[in-house]
Structure 1
Amino acid sequence: MNWRIGQMQAQHEACLAIVEDIEARSRHIADRPSAVEITLMLARLTGILRIHLALEDEILYPALRNAADPRIAEMAERFWQEAGGLADAFLDFVDRWKRADALLTDPEGFRIESARVFKALADRIDHEHAEIYPMAERLRAARAG
């Protein structure tokens, strides 16, 4: 089974690059064009994350949660549950800030909330790269071998 780990890792890198751009641009939200640019980046980030979460929800996590090794199944279940909370928090964040007017009205509020949400996203990515993806690769290799 192809679990598309490489594709998911590439999506993570794309997300982190967009986050970096948003953080840089949000330091100076001075006018409507700069605010609109940030909203477009948020939309792009949301699109990548929706595809990424679909891959995880449909392919990766079901396979890990059904692993014969209970440690793998339990860890996958925990990570999957946590991911749902982060996805909800991210979508709430995007819903609040998807309009340029919101960014222009409260740029500092956006910076504060985006720092919190983006840190949680980066932490999640770090966990997946350090724990979930290596575990998935080991399980895939064991099934193939």
Structure 2
Amino acid sequence: MFSNAAKLRVEHHEIAALLMQLEVAVMQAEPMPEQQLVVLRNDLARVLTAHLAFEDEVVYPELLRHPDPSIASLAREFQSEMGGLANRFAQYSSHWTASRVENDWAGFCRATKAMIAGFNERVAREDRELYALLDRLRREAA
């Protein structure tokens, strides 16, 4: 399981690239074509959903069973925080329908920038703390 850090990092790069495209879009004075925005948002939702599911189904359960209580504690902390971020993303996605985006581009841009900042911070923290831990555990198991 601990060898999955490389897979998770690749997914982080994909998420970061999609977030960057979305960030460029919301820096514009006018909305991008609706279909383009729908595809971008759907791609982001698809990648995030798969990534979060893998963490929830594989990474966290394994770490929660680890005999070192500090590792299990860190896993609980990350799992709890990610649940909140995932819920906020789901609310963001359901709130910002195509018609709302069209009618309130400035509001969508503000909300999107805040969502992007939250995910960028989380991705950086996972890379720095959680995936470094997975790397260490993989080396120790070898």
Q: Which moved more, 1:17-26 or 1:44-53?
A: 17-26
Shift of 1:24: 1.1
Verify the 8 A CA contact 2:63 2:72 in the aligned structure 1.
yes
Map of 1:77 onto structure 2: 76
Q: How far apart are the structure 2 equivalents of 1:71 and 1:128?
A: 16
Map of 2:37 onto structure 1: 38
Q: TM-score, normalised by structure 1?
A: 0.90
Q: How far apart are the structure 1 equivalents of 2:84 and 2:54?
A: 17
Q: TM-score, normalised by structure 2?
A: 0.92
Cα RMSD for the two superposed structures? 1.6
Map of 1:139 onto structure 2: 137
**Which amino acid in the other structure matches residue 105 of structure 2?**
P
Structure 1: gaps of 5 or more residues: none
Query: Mapping of 1:1-145 within 5 angstroms?
Result: 1=1, 3-28=3-28, 30=30, 34-97=33-96, 99-142=97-140, 144-145=141-142
**Which amino acid in the other structure matches residue 18 of structure 1?**
L
SS of the residue corresponding to residue 51 of structure 1 reads helix
**Which amino acid in the other structure matches residue 121 of structure 2?**
D
Shift of 1:96: 1.4
Structure 2: gaps of 5 or more residues: none
Higher relative contact order (CA 8 A, sep 6+): 2
Shift of 1:76: 0.9
Verify the 8 A CA contact 1:26 1:111 in the aligned structure 2.
yes
Deviation per residue, 1:47-68 (Å, 9 max, x gap): 0011101110111111111111
SS of the residue corresponding to residue 76 of structure 2 reads helix
